[in-house]
A and B are shown apart, each in its own frame.
Chain A
């Protein structure tokens, strides 16, 4: 079955820094989603990105489906970016990675 791996597992940044999170998936997926789980546990949709690049404010994502990876870029990080970032491969259901825990300090 499809497996989804994320790196790094933990990331600590000072406010204003940039970061790149990586998601590797083991087989072809129909689509890929990125989520942010905030400290209160809510899951927020960031990107739905089967291939190519999308941008939303300070965040952008790139998926290279032929090479089975996706990258999430966070620029000029803010304390409100803290939380866990998940990627999930979409087949007929979502297969989640184990997440990257991001802490941004002032």
Chain B
């Protein structure tokens, strides 16, 4: 089984809808991250969490919110989706002792 899983893998939604992307990990890492990738670009950080009680905004947090339900689960919400949030979304994890990050398979989100 994959160490970092994301659901759903693909989602098409309409403008104004609320949508949640979920991430789970079995690596035992305490740190989790959400990134977004637009076509032809690198990844940009949306939110990150160093433990269950710690949530931090990243480079592009506007329009997004997160919830760290447990050490192993970190969800990303779009309260009212808009077309320019169409992108590939990645979850990642790392350990506080060693900051190498490991990525999930990605969620391809299309907002019509």
- The answer to whether B102 touches A94 (Cβ under 8 A) is no
Count of interface residues, chain B, beta-carbon cutoff 8 Å: 22
Interface assignment of B64: CB less than 8 Å from any CB of chain A = no
* Structural contact, B42 and A31, CB atoms closer than 8 A: no
Please indicate the chain B residues that have their CB under 8 angstroms from the CB of A33 in the complex. Answer: 100-101
Which residue of A30, A35, A42, A93 contacts B105 across the interface (Cβ within 8 Å)?
Answer: A42
- Give residues of chain B (11-35) contacting chain A, Cβ–Cβ below 8 Å: 33, 35
**A76 to B28 CA separation, bound complex (whole angstroms):** 37
Bound-complex Cα distance A98 to B40 (A): 8
Q: Which residues of B contact A43 (CB under 8 A)?
A: 90, 103, 106
Whether the pair B88, A41 counts as a contact (CB closer than 8 A) is yes
CB <8 Å contact, A48 and B100: yes
Which residues on B sit within 8 Å (CB–CB) of A35? 103
**Given that A41-B88, A41-B106, A41-B108 are contacting pairs, would A96 and B100 also be in contact in the complex, using a CB cutoff of 8 Å?**
no
**Structural contact, A94 and B106, CB atoms closer than 8 A:** no
Binding site for B on A (CB under 8 A): 4, 30-31, 33, 35, 41-43, 45, 48, 86, 88, 90, 92-94, 96-99
Would you give 30 A-B contacts (Cβ < 8 Å), ordered by A?
Answer: A4-B42, A31-B99, A31-B100, A33-B100, A33-B101, A35-B103, A41-B88, A41-B106, A42-B105, A43-B103, A43-B106, A48-B98, A86-B42, A86-B43, A88-B43, A88-B101, A90-B101, A93-B33, A93-B48, A93-B58, A94-B33, A94-B43, A94-B45, A94-B101, A96-B42, A96-B44, A97-B42, A98-B40, A98-B41, A99-B41
